[in-house]
Chains A and B, each alone.
Chain A
Amino acid sequence: MDLLNALVALLNFVVIPATAYGAQLALGALGVTLIYGILRFSNFAHGDTMALGTGFVILVTWWLQSLGVSLGPLPTAFLALPFGIAATAAVVLLTDRGVYRFYRRQKAAPVILVIVSMGVMFVMNGVTRFVIGVEEIRFADGARFLINANEFKKSTGLAEGLAFKASQAQTIAAAVLVVALLFWFLNKTRTGKSMRAYSDNEDLALLSGINPERVVAVTWIIASGLAVIAGTLYGLDKSFKAFNYFQLLLPVFASAIVGGLGSPLGAIAGGFLIAFSEVGLTYAWKKVATYVLPEALAPDGLAQLLSTDYKFAVSFALLIVVLLFKPTGLFKGKSV
């Protein structure tokens, strides 16, 4: 019984939250990695793309809610997602046209593009705050729980409750769906194949008649789609605050790099690795330990390895360790 309780506590406080968070990070990191693979620079504006896109989704959600439209048990935000993605993709494509394309034509050094993306980050950060403000916004509606903690306790008779939030289930389901779609697109469609060819060897791809501007445009559209989905899922799970999304840039980048920049599979692995280490190292293990260990060995303190304020430190410690021993990430990313 104690072992079962420990297992439920572990599921409730570590496995489920970390899986949902990992899925959000993986989606964000996929966007970063795609841009790195095709456009060959680290896009510092990705966190703010996520924020801006989520801002659009929230605005459309409010509009739909005012019309009385809802998806029943699912959050209205899912209905708003296509609009958010379209708006964000339009903004991002305009940015590419107005800003990035010039440097691409010039064949500027990647590091210049990173600095340019810093400028885009400033502007997007400001625009997001302008459009939606800096306040914390909760926009989740529909069903709250898939499994309610109290009902779980009653029906199983266990001392520990298991709560599975609807937003967490939706996050995981959506992530699986999106990743499956993305891999199908990259591996099976003509456009996807041309993208991979362009990423592997730009000159050869150009020689075989691939239109670079089209590849770049498709990449931006997919990356903004991924960013908006990741941002919306994160916002549904926790809440929306522009500044938090800017900070999310750090674990997202860490995921992409730990997995290996330019490798989609690596981005997913990196996202979950970062999420599980963040949650695992900042979780107070006292409860689980008291169930599992004999009474004499039970910990006095919280048995928390690091205070939750240091969760960013975890992702970067992991980043440094991986880079020191595997300089291009776990899945052999590229470097320019």
Chain B
Amino acid sequence: MNTRNILLFAGMAALIVLEGSTTFGGIFGGSWNTALFILNFGLLSAIMALGVNMQWGYAGLFNVGVVGFIALGGLAPVLIATPPVTEVWTAGGVGRLVFALIVGLGVIALAIVLNHRLKGRVRLAALCVTLIGGFFLYRALFDPAVEVIEAFNPATNSNLGGLGLPVLLSWPVGALLAAGAAWLIGKTALGLRSDYLAIATLGIGEIIVAVLKNEDWLARGVKNVIGIPRPVPYEVDLQASPAFVDFAAGFGAEPVVASTVVVKLLYAGLFLAILLLLTAASELALKSPWGRMMRAIRDNEVAAGAMGKNVTGRHLQIFILGSAVCGLAGAMMVTMDSLHNPGTYSPLRFTFLIWVMVIVGGSGNNWGAILGGFLISFLWLKVEAWGPAALEYLTAGMDPASPLREHLKDSAAHMRLIALGLVLLLVLRFSPRGLIPEK
């Protein structure tokens, strides 16, 4: 950290403080509530950016399926923290489902073994028979089990339910889920070269999101799971507690405003602790012999391989680590929202925007990724507000009833895509190593 970097972070902090404290002619919101919302959003984004930075910055892996890993992590709070649906367990749905899944995995394992053992035409025939037969067997077991689960109370449940455990436990579980998926994907796809790997991960991200949207038995799909338990108190409980109302009065604040601010601050504290922990770990790892080896592999795979480094193994390792960090952030995000809403997992927001953060911040540098996470989050949320205001100003000279003006004002919300794209292009052109370049 040199002076310049400290100044950059101070500038970022100042932006958030300004957002909270002043309106400055409409540029800032002037509300601590939105300022803290941006802060939390930035903290989550910074963690996601750290994960992508591990894969791209340390190792040069081009993963554009980030949204899939975030979404998988977001599944964990639902599966861990929501109350169990005992009826589904007693009706035998879960047992049959697990059995079907085990059979499915068994079929795949058998196919892999056959693929290794056999050769030529026999292999092809055996693989086809196993996979096609296995698919129908799996569906025959799986479909009735799903029917049992989805039949129960479709208005509120129709899913497995969770385990009713503390929600904080779901964060490491989210990381584990993403890591598991990354292991599976890495085993098959990491042998692919640059562009091919990008397209393959893009597809895998889409598939994971499609599964979460459509498998209602898992987490109700697009019907959403609401009211996921929280690690912090509820606003209404705070407002009802006399001690808190006195505490808020001490600051001269409304209890309602104070409660939302306090809840956001508590989340910010939790997220900040995790971000600091992750940053410390990443910095230590990057400075260790392991980090130097990673960069050596990134800069010249052939040379690193010739020096006896296991390139494929290290790639798989970093792919899993980076994905786990993304999964962790996904679980944290769903916990903060208390809402599992797979309809919002768009690749623009959760893959490409994270990439913009890493590139703008400075790939290969953890502090850069974090700064990029905050800055791009800030812009992403603020340009949405600035766009309509800017167009209002630009079109002020036009006839108020003109349809063109109406159209422009309606489209202003899309300004942020253009703005963020331009930021990315400008940074790539004029400062390709980012705001805080790799040392």
Q: Does A63 contact B (CB under 8 A)?
A: no
A39 → chain B, closest Cβ, in Å? Answer: 12
Are A129 and B417 CB-contacts (below 8 A) given A42-B195, A114-B62?
yes
Q: Does A41 contact B (CB under 8 A)?
A: yes
- 4 new A-B contacts, CB < 8 A, other than A123-B418, A129-B411, are A42-B198, A126-B417, A129-B414, A261-B195
Chain A: number of interface residues, binned into ranges: 35 or more
Q: Is the beta-carbon distance between A250 and B429 smaller than 8 angstroms? A: no
8 Å CB contact of B196 from A115, A122, A129, A335? A335
Q: Is the beta-carbon distance between A123 and B414 smaller than 8 angstroms? A: no
Q: Is the beta-carbon distance between B421 and A110 smaller than 8 angstroms? A: no
Point out which of B410, B417, B419 has the most chain A C-beta atoms below 10 A from its C-beta: B417
Are A130 and B198 CB-contacts (below 8 A) given A116-B425, A122-B421, A312-B207?
no
Residues of A near B359 (CB, < 8 A) are 115
Q: Does A206 contact B (CB under 8 A)?
A: no
Q: Is the beta-carbon distance between A122 and B355 smaller than 8 angstroms? A: no
Q: Is the beta-carbon distance between B200 and A335 smaller than 8 angstroms? A: no
Q: Does A146 contact B (CB under 8 A)?
A: no
Residues of B near A126 (CB, < 8 A) are 414-419, 421
Q: Does B194 contact A (CB under 8 A)?
A: yes
8 Å CB contact of B206 from A124, A250, A301? A250
State the main secondary structure of chain B at its contact with A. Answer: helix
- Cα(A254)–Cα(B432), bound, Å: 30
Are A253 and B418 CB-contacts (below 8 A) given A111-B62, A122-B352, A323-B192?
no
- The 8 A CB mask of A59-86 against B (1 = contact, 0 = none) is 0000000000000000000000000000
Are A130 and B414 CB-contacts (below 8 A) given A125-B348, A253-B202?
yes
- The 8 A CB mask of B388-412 against A (1 = contact, 0 = none) is 0000000000000000000100110
Chain B: number of interface residues, binned into ranges: 35 or more
- Cα(A2)–Cα(B389), bound, Å: 65
Within 8 A of A (CB), among B216-258: none
B198 → chain A, closest Cβ, in Å? Answer: 6
- The 8 A CB mask of A124-141 against B (1 = contact, 0 = none) is 111101100110000000
Q: Is the beta-carbon distance between A130 and B411 smaller than 8 angstroms? A: yes
Q: Does B48 contact A (CB under 8 A)?
A: no
User: Who on chain A is nearest to B189 by CB?
Assistant: A320
- Cα(A110)–Cα(B194), bound, Å: 9
User: Who on chain B is nearest to A41 by CB?
Assistant: B195
Residues of A near B196 (CB, < 8 A) are 257, 323, 327, 335
Residues of B near A118 (CB, < 8 A) are 352, 355-356, 424
Q: Is the beta-carbon distance between B192 and A327 smaller than 8 angstroms? A: yes
Are A316 and B416 CB-contacts (below 8 A) given A123-B422, A261-B195?
no
Q: Is the beta-carbon distance between A130 and B418 smaller than 8 angstroms? A: yes
Are A319 and B348 CB-contacts (below 8 A) given A115-B355, A123-B421, A133-B410?
no
Q: Does A201 contact B (CB under 8 A)?
A: no
State the main secondary structure of chain A at its contact with B. Answer: helix
Q: Does B435 contact A (CB under 8 A)?
A: no
Within 8 A of A (CB), among B183-216: 188-189, 191-196, 198-200, 202-204, 206-207, 210, 213-214
Q: Does A112 contact B (CB under 8 A)?
A: yes
8 Å CB contact of B207 from A124, A130, A305, A316? A316
- Cα(A324)–Cα(B60), bound, Å: 21
- The 8 A CB mask of B325-355 against A (1 = contact, 0 = none) is 0000000000000000000000010001001
Q: Is the beta-carbon distance between B203 and A250 smaller than 8 angstroms? A: yes
Q: Does B420 contact A (CB under 8 A)?
A: yes
8 Å CB contact of B194 from A111, A116, A120? A111
A51 → chain B, closest Cβ, in Å? Answer: 12
- Cα(A112)–Cα(B355), bound, Å: 12
- The 8 A CB mask of B137-169 against A (1 = contact, 0 = none) is 000000100000000000000000000000000
Q: Does A168 contact B (CB under 8 A)?
A: no
Q: Is the beta-carbon distance between A112 and B428 smaller than 8 angstroms? A: yes
- The 8 A CB mask of A297-336 against B (1 = contact, 0 = none) is 0000100010101101101100110011001000000011
B238 → chain A, closest Cβ, in Å? Answer: 39
Residues of B near A316 (CB, < 8 A) are 200, 203-204, 206-207
User: Who on chain A is nearest to B412 by CB?
Assistant: A130
Q: Is the beta-carbon distance between A114 and B198 smaller than 8 angstroms? A: yes
Residues of B near A247 (CB, < 8 A) are 206
User: Who on chain B is nearest to A127 by CB?
Assistant: B418
30 contacts between A and B (CB under 8 A): A42-B198, A102-B429, A111-B62, A115-B359, A115-B428, A118-B352, A118-B424, A119-B428, A120-B421, A122-B352, A122-B417, A124-B421, A125-B348, A126-B415, A126-B416, A130-B418, A250-B202, A250-B203, A254-B203, A257-B196, A309-B214, A310-B214, A312-B203, A316-B204, A323-B192, A323-B200, A327-B191, A335-B194, A336-B194, A336-B195
Residues of B near A319 (CB, < 8 A) are 199-200, 203
User: Who on chain A is nearest to B417 by CB?
Assistant: A126
Q: Is the beta-carbon distance between A99 and B414 smaller than 8 angstroms? A: no
Q: Does A121 contact B (CB under 8 A)?
A: yes
8 Å CB contact of B417 from A114, A125, A133, A305? A125
User: Who on chain A is nearest to B192 by CB?
Assistant: A323
B68 → chain A, closest Cβ, in Å? Answer: 11
Point out which of B60, B135, B419, B429 has the most chain A C-beta atoms below 10 A from its C-beta: B429
Are A313 and B428 CB-contacts (below 8 A) given A122-B348, A122-B421, A253-B199?
no
B125 → chain A, closest Cβ, in Å? Answer: 15
- Cα(A118)–Cα(B348), bound, Å: 10
User: Who on chain A is nearest to B352 by CB?
Assistant: A118
- Cα(A19)–Cα(B109), bound, Å: 35
A221 → chain B, closest Cβ, in Å? Answer: 22
- Cα(A126)–Cα(B203), bound, Å: 22
Residues of A near B199 (CB, < 8 A) are 42, 253-254, 257, 319
Within 8 A of B (CB), among A253-269: 253-254, 257, 261
Q: Is the beta-carbon distance between B424 and A119 smaller than 8 angstroms? A: yes
Q: Is the beta-carbon distance between B210 and A309 smaller than 8 angstroms? A: yes
The 4 lowest CB-CB distance pairs between A and B, nearest first, are: A122-B421, A316-B203, A126-B417, A126-B418
User: Who on chain A is nearest to B201 by CB?
Assistant: A316
Residues of B near A130 (CB, < 8 A) are 411, 414-415, 418
Residues of A near B62 (CB, < 8 A) are 111, 114
User: Who on chain B is nearest to A131 by CB?
Assistant: B411
